[in-house]
Each structure stands twice: as structure tokens, then as C-alpha cells.
């Protein structure tokens, strides 16, 4: 179920506020892998928008770099590559993102 918690973390992530993301995860104990109504996590949004510092905070709080959205079935790596975000693509790959999906979609991840 979609909640204000999911909305808050995702909005702050989209805005690129790494300090607030860190506080929500550390001080308010929000789960780093909460999903919105489409199954996207904060990692999906940070990856797509190129928010490397926010992504770093999320990964430090054990957020998954491999979860797929429930509607589009896209991973954070898929989102980063589609948006042309080379820095977040590199970061995701260095933290275990699966490149196989890009071979299937005939898209280069780098």
C-alpha cells in the first residue's frame, strides 16, 4: 500500500536533498526500499535523475540496486541508462546492478 512515508522519501529524493534523505533513513527509520504506486523506489528516482550523492546515501542504508518496478518492470539501472545518466549507471554497476536486462533490451549500459 502506498503511504505518506513512500511519498515523502521519493519526493525528497527527486528534489536531490541528500541530507534530508539521510535523516529520513537514519533518524526516522524509514525503509530504504519502500515503493510507490508503480513499484519504484527512491533508488529508481535517484538513478534516473542523476542524483549520485542521494544514491550514495540510499546505498549506504542498504537500499537495493536490483529491485524492479512492479508496473514497468524496470530496474534502477534501466532507468539510469534510459535517461543517459552515466555517473549513476557506473555507481549502480559498481554496487551489483545486473547488466543482463540491458543485453535483452539491446541497450548499452555504458
Q: Is residue 58 a contact partner of residue 28, using CB atoms and an 8 Å limit?
A: no
pLDDT attached to residue 103: 44
Measured distance CA(9)–CA(95) in Å, rounded: 21
pLDDT attached to residue 99: 83
Measured distance CA(110)–CA(91) in Å, rounded: 11
CA angle 48, 52, 54 (to 5 degrees): 95
Please give the average per-residue pLDDT across 18-45, as a whole number: 94
Q: Which residues contact 96 (CB under 8 A, 6 or more apart)?
A: 65, 66
What size, in residues, is the chain? 110
Please give the average per-residue pLDDT across 76-87, as a whole number: 96
Nearest to 39 by CA among 68, 64, 62: 68
Q: Examine the pLDDT at 2 and tell me if it is beyond 70.
A: no
pLDDT attached to residue 7: 79
In whole numbers, what is the pLDDT of the chain averaged over residues?
A: 88
pLDDT attached to residue 17: 96
Amino acid at each position: 500500500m502506498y503511504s505518506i512515508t513512500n511519498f515523502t522519501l521519493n519526493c525528497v529524493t527527486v528534489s536531490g536533498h541528500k541530507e534530508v534523505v539521510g535523516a529520513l533513513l537514519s533518524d526516522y527509520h524509514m525503509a530504504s526500499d519502500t515503493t510507490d504506486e508503480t513499484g519504484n523506489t527512491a533508488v529508481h528516482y535517484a538513478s534516473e535523475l542523476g542524483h549520485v550523492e542521494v544514491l550514495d546515501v540510499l546505498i549506504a542504508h542498504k537500499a537495493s540496486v536490483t529491485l524492479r518496478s512492479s508496473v514497468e518492470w524496470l530496474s534502477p539501472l534501466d532507468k539510469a541508462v534510459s535517461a543517459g545518466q552515466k555517473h549513476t549507471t557506473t555507481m549502480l554497476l559498481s554496487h551489483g546492478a545486473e547488466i543482463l536486462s540491458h543485453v535483452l533490451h539491446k541497450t548499452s549500459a555504458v
